[in-house]
C-alpha cells in the first residue's frame, strides 16, 4: 500500500468531514498552514502531548496549538482557571483586575517590557507595533527581513516566501508595500543602507530567525542591529510571537541578551487561548495612552480598539500559564528534549537514506528536504509535495506536526520522543521505498 492509500484507508471520517468543509469554508480550511493534500485530519480531543482524531487515531502532537500550548493540551491548572472564569464573567465591557495581573506578569518576565497592551492575535500585535513605531518616530518606512513572518496584515506580506518580490498574498495594494523595505537577514550592511533615507521608523524581525528559526540568526547580528537602530533612532521590534516565554521565561531577548524597544507576543502569552500583546519601553508604549490633552489624544496618540482585547478568558489562561513558566526549569527541560529529538531525527533521516536535514534550537525542530537555508534564507519555494507526503506518512505513524517544524512542549516525555523518532523513521523509509525523492 502506498503512503496515500494507507492515509485514505485510515481516515475515512476525516475525508468525509473535509469534503463537507469544502462546501462551507473556502478551500475547506481556516488557516493556510492547515492545507494538506489529499485532506487534513479532524481532531476531536487532546490531552498533554497527545491528541485523537475523528477516526480514533492517537497522535503525539508537535503542532501544540501552532506553538501556543507550551504547557501541553488541557493543562489542568489552565483548564480550571478558564472554567472558573467562564462561570464568573466572559466579558466585562470594561476593565478587570485580571488584565492588570496579566500585564504585570509580562512586564516582570520580558526584559524590554515596561508597559503592555493586549490584542487578540499576533497579527494585531505586529500591526500595532508598526503603527506605534511610526507615530513615535514621525517616520513612515519599516524594515523587515526576507523569510520573516509577522502575520497577515498588508505591510508584512512583503518578502515572506521566495520569490521575495511577490507579496505573500494577492489583494495587497502597492501603496501598502511602498513603505516597507525588505532586507536579507543576517546582513547588517543592508539594514544600514536602508537607514540612509532617514525615514525608517522601525526594524521588525523574528529574533531567532525567520519562520520560527528556519533561517537562524547568526551570532552577533542582534547586537549589531541593536547598535545601529539605537544610533539612528529607529525602533527595534522583536516579534516574539513564537519565541516569547519559550526560549527562556523572557523569550529570545533574554536568551540572546539583546533588549529591543518593542516586542510582539501571542500564542503562549494567552495560554493557548486567542490573544496577543504589544509590550515595550514606557516611552514608546506611552504613544497609546490618553493624556487628557485634546490635541495629543485626537491627533498624536495611537488609537487602539478591539472588542475582545484582554478578554477575561484569555487573561485567565494567560495568567495561569505565565505564573507557571517564570521559572526557567520548564524551558530547560523542553530545550533538552529538543536536543534529544533533533539528534534522533537526524540519525533516522540518515539511516533511512532520505535526503534532508534536521536542525533547530531550543524547543523547536525543523525537518528540511531543501537543505538548511543559507544566511539569507531559502532562495526558492519549498518542495511542497514532499512535505505533504511526509505529513501523511507521519499521521499514518502516530505523529502530527506542522509542514516543516515541530514545537515541543513542557509535557512531552522521553517516551514520546522515542516513539516520535520511530514514527519518523517509518515515515522516511516509506517515502524512500516509494521513490518520493527520486529525481528531486
Ligand X SMILES: Cc1ncc(COP(=O)(O)O)c(C=O)c1O
- Residue with cell string 505573500: 168
Residue least distant from ligand X (Cβ): 122
CB 439 → ligand X: shortest distance, Å?
A: 33
One residue of 117, 127, 141, 150 binding ligand X per CB under 6 A:
150
Tell me phi and psi for residue 137, to 5 degrees.
-90, -20
Closest CA to 375 of 152, 190, 239: 190
One residue of 123, 146, 214, 368 binding ligand X per CB under 6 A:
123
Q: Is 151 in the site for ligand X (CB under 6 A)?
A: yes
* Cα(77)–Cα(74) distance, integer angstroms: 8
Q: How many residues bind ligand X (CB under 6 A)?
A: 14
**Window 60 to 89, contacts with ligand X (CB under 6 A):** 66
Instruction: Extract the C-alpha cell encoding 345.
Output: 531525527
* Cα(348)–Cα(354) distance, integer angstroms: 9
CB 156 → ligand X: shortest distance, Å?
A: 8
CB 66 → ligand X: shortest distance, Å?
A: 6
- Residue with cell string 513542557: 410
CB 94 → ligand X: shortest distance, Å?
A: 25
Pick between residue 206 and residue 425 the one whose CB is nearest to ligand X. 206
Q: Is 149 in the site for ligand X (CB under 6 A)?
A: yes
Pick between residue 209 and residue 344 the one whose CB is nearest to ligand X. 209
Q: Is 155 in the site for ligand X (CB under 6 A)?
A: no
Mutual orientation of helices 188-195 and 221-232 as an angle, nearest 10°? 10
CB 276 → ligand X: shortest distance, Å?
A: 6
Pick between residue 266 and residue 408 the one whose CB is nearest to ligand X. 266
CB 42 → ligand X: shortest distance, Å?
A: 20
Tell me phi and psi for residue 403, to 5 degrees.
-50, -40
Q: Is 242 in the site for ligand X (CB under 6 A)?
A: yes
Angle of CA points 340, 122, 316, to nearest 5°: 85
- Contact predicate 417/344, CB 8 Å: yes
| Part of the chain binding ligand X (CB under 6 A), chosen from 217-225, 239-247, 295-303, 325-333 | 239-247
Pick between residue 66 and residue 226 the one whose CB is nearest to ligand X. 66
CB 151 → ligand X: shortest distance, Å?
A: 3
CB 162 → ligand X: shortest distance, Å?
A: 18
Q: Is 239 in the site for ligand X (CB under 6 A)?
A: yes
CB 318 → ligand X: shortest distance, Å?
A: 13
CB 31 → ligand X: shortest distance, Å?
A: 8
| Part of the chain binding ligand X (CB under 6 A), chosen from 15-23, 120-128, 360-368, 400-408 | 120-128
Q: Is 126 in the site for ligand X (CB under 6 A)?
A: yes
Pick between residue 183 and residue 417 the one whose CB is nearest to ligand X. 183
**Window 177 to 236, contacts with ligand X (CB under 6 A):** 206
Q: Is 121 in the site for ligand X (CB under 6 A)?
A: yes
* Cα(340)–Cα(418) distance, integer angstroms: 9
| Part of the chain binding ligand X (CB under 6 A), chosen from 77-85, 148-156, 217-225, 334-342 | 148-156
Instruction: Extract the C-alpha cell encoding 338.
Output: 529538543
Q: Is 241 in the site for ligand X (CB under 6 A)?
A: yes
Asked whether the CA dihedral 60, 66, 69, 74 is positive or negative, the reply is: negative
One residue of 251, 276, 318, 344 binding ligand X per CB under 6 A:
276
Pick between residue 207 and residue 338 the one whose CB is nearest to ligand X. 207
Q: Is 402 in the site for ligand X (CB under 6 A)?
A: no
Q: Is 122 in the site for ligand X (CB under 6 A)?
A: yes
Pick between residue 130 and residue 241 the one whose CB is nearest to ligand X. 241
* Residues at the site binding ligand X, with contacts judged by CB under 6 A: 66, 121-123, 126, 149-151, 206, 239, 241-242, 266, 276
Amino acid at each position: 500500500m502506498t503512503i496515500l492509500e494507507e492515509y485514505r484507508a485510515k481516515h475515512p471520517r476525516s475525508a468525509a468531514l473535509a469534503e463537507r468543509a469544502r462546501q462551507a469554508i473556502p478551500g475547506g480550511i481556516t488557516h493556510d498552514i492547515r492545507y494538506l493534500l489529499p485532506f487534513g485530519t479532524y481532531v476531536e480531543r487532546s490531552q498533554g502531548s497527545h491528541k485523537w482524531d475523528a477516526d480514533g487515531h492517537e497522535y503525539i502532537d508537535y503542532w501544540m496549538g501552532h506553538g501556543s500550548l507550551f504547557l501541553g493540551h488541557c493543562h489542568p491548572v489552565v483548564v480550571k482557571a478558564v472554567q472558573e472564569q467562564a462561570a464568573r464573567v466572559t466579558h466585562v465591557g470594561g476593565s478587570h483586575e485580571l488584565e492588570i495581573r496579566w500585564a504585570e506578569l509580562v512586564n516582570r518576565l520580558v526584559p524590554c517590557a515596561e508597559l503592555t497592551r493586549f490584542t487578540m492575535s499576533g497579527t494585531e500585535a505586529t500591526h500595532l507595533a508598526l503603527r506605534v513605531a511610526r507615530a513615535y518616530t514621525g517616520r513612515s518606512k519599516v524594515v523587515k527581513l526576507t523569510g520573516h513572518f509577522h502575520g497577515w496584515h498588508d505591510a508584512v506580506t512583503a518578502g515572506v516566501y521566495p520569490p521575495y518580490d511577490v507579496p505573500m498574498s494577492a489583494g495587497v495594494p502597492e501603496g501598502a508595500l511602498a513603505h516597507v523595505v525588505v532586507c536579507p537577514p543576517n546582513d547588517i550592511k543592508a539594514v544600514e543602507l536602508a537607514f540612509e533615507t532617514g525615514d525608517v521608523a522601525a526594524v521588525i524581525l523574528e529574533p531567532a530567525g525567520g519562520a520560527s528559526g528556519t533561517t537562524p540568526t547568526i551570532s552577533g547580528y542582534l547586537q549589531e542591529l541593536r547598535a545601529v537602530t539605537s544610533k539612528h533612532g529607529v525602533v527595534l521590534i522583536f516579534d516574539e510571537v513564537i519565541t516569547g516565554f519559550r526560549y527562556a521565561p523572557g523569550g529570545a531577548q533574554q536568551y540572546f541578551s539583546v533588549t529591543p524597544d518593542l516586542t510582539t507576543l501571542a500564542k503562549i502569552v494567552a495560554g493557548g487561548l486567542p490573544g496577543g500583546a504589544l509590550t515595550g519601553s514606557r516611552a514608546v508604549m506611552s504613544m497609546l495612552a490618553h493624556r487628557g490633552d485634546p490635541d495629543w489624544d485626537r491627533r498624536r496618540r495611537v488609537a487602539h480598539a478591539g472588542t475582545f482585547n484582554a478578554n477575561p478568558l484569555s487573561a485567565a489562561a494567560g495568567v495561569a500559564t505565565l505564573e507557571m513558566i517564570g521559572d526557567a526549569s520548564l524551558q530547560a527541560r523542553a530545550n533538552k528534549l529538543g536536543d534529544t529529538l533533533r539528534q534522533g531525527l537526524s540519525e533516522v533521516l540518515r539511516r533511512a537514506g532520505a535526503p534532508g536535514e534536521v536542525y533547530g534550537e531550543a524547543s523547536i525542530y525543523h525537518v528540511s528536504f531543501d537543505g538548511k537555508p543559507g544566511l539569507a534564507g531559502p532562495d526558492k519555494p519549498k518542495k511542497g509535495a514532499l512535505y505533504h507526503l511526509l505529513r501523511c506518512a507521519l499521521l499514518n505513524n502516530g505523529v502530527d506536526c506542522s509542514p516543516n517544524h515541530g514545537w515541543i512542549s513542557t509535557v512531552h516525555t522521553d517516551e514520546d520522543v522515542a516513539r516520535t523518532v520511530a514514527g519518523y523513521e517509518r515515515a522516511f523509509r516509506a517515502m524512500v521505498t516509494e521513490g518520493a525523492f527520486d529525481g528531486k
